[in-house]
A and B are shown apart, each in its own frame.
Chain A
Amino acid sequence: MSVEQGMRKNKLRVQRGFTIIELTIAAAIGLIVMLGITAILVDSQRGWQRMYNTIYSDVVTDSYVAGKTFDAVVRRASRQRISLDEAGNWAEVYYYADANSAVVDRYARFYYDSDPNTGGRLYIEYGTVTSDGVKGASSTQTVCENVQSCTFEGAGRAAQMILILNDGSQRATVMSSAVMHNQ
């Protein structure tokens, strides 16, 4: 067989196409691989997002802030008294403005507003209070939003807040208890 004959024969062989079965199998395998990789990527992304939300989402950070705020305010409050709503929707504690205050002259009131227009919010109202219990100037701050429910309880010198936050996609429950330390 001459060289020319061999080239013609080889040329015929390499120009031969894939059969439809080969293409189908190859496409199926490729599709499966692609789907697998896609599923892994999507699942990984979801896991990442879930973990991110667990740490940094608004609900989680709000719950963290709410717990710390309640804790800090109650710990510095006067242990002589605490006012609680029978339904547990608000709690009011009293404290000294500073170390030089001779009497309890400030109050802080935590209250939960379940207004559906605002989506449920926890507020804290700070203000002055005279020795005979008359309240003066006050200011209100929003502690957190997306509040599903919030109840306050008291026992002796301790107060407790049970706060549930829910933004529709994530839910967080905060149970913060603190003891009132001041005279």
Chain B
Amino acid sequence: MNSKKIADSGQRIADSRKKLNTIRYTLYAKPWACGSAVLLVLFAVVMLSVIGAGLLNLGMQGRMLSIRTASEISARSAADAGLVKAVFEMNEKLKVIPWNDSNLPQTTDETLANCDATFSYTVTGDSNGLYTVVSIGNSGHAQRQVGSTLRPKGLFEYGLLTRETITLEMNTRLYGYDSDTGSTDAALTIGTISTAPDSIVLGGGTSIINGDVFVGFEGDTETVIQNDGAVINGRTYALVEELPFPVITPPSLPDMGTMDIVAGTTVLGPAGSGKYTNITLQDSGILQIDGGDVVLHVTGNVVMNSDSQIQVEAGSFLTLYVDGSMIGDSLNNVEINNYTGVPVGLKLCLMGESEQTIEFKNNSDIFVAIYAPNTNVIFKNNTNFRGSIVAKSVYMQNNSIFYYDVALQGEGIGNSNEWVRFAIDRWQEE
């Protein structure tokens, strides 16, 4: 009985305490203080989350920008590489004689080395002999396209190109023309690779250079060109790269011994092509090239005595390689006549390492393309020259007229395409 009372009392006490606690928290608790720390922490967490998300977003955008930029660079590099390779393939194809453009280079999705970019290119040609390359580079989602037209570039890219000096006396006139079309509105460029002062001297009077004049790599046009009154209808500038003067290798020809031409005319046709030790034209001797293409390689000298001539008849072509020298007995009395009417009909390649001089006499009409890096070429007064000259120096006396034939662009020497190559003419990017 007592124990039951005690248990009841305990239960009542416990119930009372619960009620008291309830009353106490109801009466004395501070609602504003309840959970404030949680709110503070939540606020901080939300703020940090927002900032963190922003940072992640920015980082992602930065990475995307970098990836896009890298892809664009890779795609552009791939497109450039495709173009370069297309030109290389065209030049490899050019080495095969005769030229055949029925199967022009192309490729699809070729991988750029050490890169995940790919490139594709196609080369197309038209009836005018103009070739167009389109190269497309891909990397990721980026794509770049470059295109260009190609044209053959040979030894006679310029009207006059010298290693040292160009001297034009009074009233000399230089123009460009095109023997293929007859156009006289063709571009002319003359220049030297020299950067020495006064390497180019332009006389006054009515002297005209109807084109551009360049000086050697990084040369100063103000000091290299001494203009005494010539009118330059073009620009003067310094080369942005060195120009090569390649050593020409004559084609392999049968040994023909020595040719000695006495007075009178000796006719030489294609069957006479060959390698000669020396060619000597005695007084009044005439070497007449007729009947087709003739290639002569003279390992020694070509000696032309008084009143001797070399004649190239219409419909024929002569390519003359001379390892030694062209020696004339007072060259005022000797002639090199090209009756084809076009400079391409006569190509003269003087490869002797020793310095020599060839002169064209007064009042002569000359059609010739000359490649002679160690030779001084002199035009006497009133010379009328058509063609192109690569020489050590060129000296044009008073009243000489020079016409550069742009049809020589892309021309090599001989039957091979040595030193002829396709080069980018016009380039564009999309």
Contact = CB atoms under 8 A, between A and B. Distances in A.
Contacts of A51: 55, 58-59, 62
What is the size category of the interface that chain B forms with chain A?
35 or more
A69 interface: no
B424 interface: yes
B51 A44 contact: yes
Contacts of A40: 44, 48
Interface string A91-105: 000001001000100
A37 B58 CA distance: 22
A183 B51 CA distance: 54
Contacts of A37: 40, 44
A7 B20 contact: yes
Contacts of B320: none
Contacts of A54: 62
B425 A183 contact: yes
Interface in B1-49: 16-17, 20, 23-24, 28, 40, 44, 47-48
B75 to A, nearest CB: 14
Contacts of A14: 24, 28
Given A41-B51, A81-B238, A75 B429 contact: yes
B427 A181 contact: yes
B65 interface: yes
B20 A76 contact: no
A99 B426 contact: yes
A40 B187 CA distance: 71
B28 A15 contact: yes
Contact of B61 (A6, A48, A55): A55
B240 A132 contact: no
A48 B240 contact: no
A142 B343 CA distance: 51
Nearest to A131: B234
B378 interface: no
B52 interface: yes
B282 interface: no
Interface string B413-430: 000000000011111110
Nearest to A104: B235
Interface in A55-101: 55, 72, 75-76, 79-83, 96, 99
Contacts of B51: 41, 44-45, 47-48
Given A48-B58, A131-B235, A182 B240 contact: no
Contact of A44 (B48, B65, B148, B214): B48
A23 to B, nearest CB: 13
Nearest to A71: B76
Given A11-B24, A54-B62, A183-B425, A132 B48 contact: no
B184 interface: no
A136 interface: no
Contact of A183 (B44, B47, B233, B424): B424
A11 B25 CA distance: 10
A15 B30 CA distance: 12
Interface in B235-285: 235-241
6 contacts: A14-B28, A51-B59, A75-B429, A81-B240, A132-B235, A133-B235
Interface of B: 16-17, 20, 23-24, 28, 40, 44, 47-48, 51-52, 54-55, 58-59, 61-62, 65, 146, 148, 187, 214, 232-241, 423-429
Given A14-B28, A48-B54, A132-B233, 18 more contacts: A6-B16, A6-B17, A14-B24, A40-B48, A41-B48, A44-B55, A47-B51, A55-B58, A76-B429, A81-B239, A131-B234, A133-B234, A133-B236, A180-B240, A182-B426, A182-B427, A183-B426, A183-B427
Interface of A: 3, 6-7, 10-11, 14-15, 33, 37, 40-41, 44-45, 47-48, 51-52, 54-55, 72, 75-76, 79-83, 96, 99, 103, 131-133, 154, 156-157, 180-183
| The 4 residue pairs across chains A and B that have the minimum distance between CB atoms | A181-B427, A44-B51, A81-B237, A133-B235
